[in-house]
Amino acid sequence: MNTQDRLPEDRIKLKRVGIRDLKTLIKIKRKGKEYWHTPKISIYIDLSEERKGIHMSRLIECIIEALEEEIKEEHYSLEALGRNILEKVGIKHTYQRGEISFSSELPLIKKTPKSRKRTVEVHDVHVKVIYDGTWKKVLRVEVIGNTLCPHALEVSGKTHIQRAKGRLEIECEFEKDISLEEMIDVVEESFSSRVYTLLKSEDEADVIKSMHENPMFVEDVTRRILERSKKFGCRAKAECISYESIHRHNVYSEGEI
């Protein structure tokens, strides 16, 4: 009998046991586009009071096998890969509840607003797949934008701007088709203006003009993210933090629907 299969001294069930922050390389093919990820993968299963430990090597084997077998498939996603891995884990290691998460960066090719130059914008993304008798998923994106203070603009005719970070998290049944790109668009469209890695002079002028035409508090950004997220038909949580330019503190807002 393997050591892991023996009875533990303290007969207590554990909710999550597994591997955290395994780094690897993944290529995703979705709707004719290829995306490269170098995610940190964490995978956990529950452990009964009848077993001393889990077989860690089996978890890693399942991840490697799934990557080798499935990574060439078209119309793929991180959550589909995650479900595949959890299903393979279930063959080698029984569990009642399991979860796997991917923390990565998603680079997207964009065009600058006026000069139409090509620019690469990178966003933090997080995908979690959970099995507890049914399958569900949690998708999260973090997006950089900016805010322009409406109060200062109203009282003085001038105002201050700051970089802000918006976060959107969606929890839904696994079969719901929601892309990370759609979620990123929802957040980007909720700021005073988008931000870009590359800006030519005419682009910079356009961004500044857009910001002044759309002054917003962090509260406005959070509410707009939530309003735009209603189209997904899922539980949604939104956050926004503004890195204040004229204060020593930052400003934060969150809400959910």
Whole-number pLDDT of residue 75: 47
Domain ranges of the chain: 1-96, 102-257
Q: What share of the chain is helix, strand, coil (3-state, %, to 5)?
A: 30, 40, 30
Average pLDDT over residues 73-93: 81
Which DSSP string corresponds to 185-203? HHHHTTSSEE--S---HHH
Residue from 198, 195, 251, 253 nearest 221 by CA: 253
Of the options 1.10.30.50, 3.30.200.20, 3.30.230.70, 3.10.270.10, the CATH number for the domain spanning 1-96: 3.10.270.10
* Structure tokens, 29: 């093919």
Residue 239: exposure state from Cβ atoms within 10 A (0-12, 13-18, ≥19): buried
Amino acid 255 reads G
What is the pLDDT averaged over residues 94-107?
92
Do domains 1-96 and 102-257 share one topology? The answer is yes
Tokens of residue 187, six digits: 């957040």
Look at the domain 102-257 and name its fold. Urate Oxidase (3.10.270)
List, in order, residues 6 or more apart from 76 with CB less than 8 Å away: 28, 29, 30, 70
Convert the pLDDT of each residue in 154-196 to its tens digit.
899 889 989 999 999 999 999 999 999 999 999 999 999 999 9
pLDDT (tens digit, 9 = 90+) per residue, 134-146?
Answer: 999 999 999 999 9
Query: CA nearest 82: which of 133, 122, 35, 139?
Result: 139
Distance, CA of 41 to CA of 101 (rounded, Å): 6
Q: What is the pLDDT of residues 40-72, one digit of tens each?
A: 999 898 888 877 776 777 777 777 777 677 555
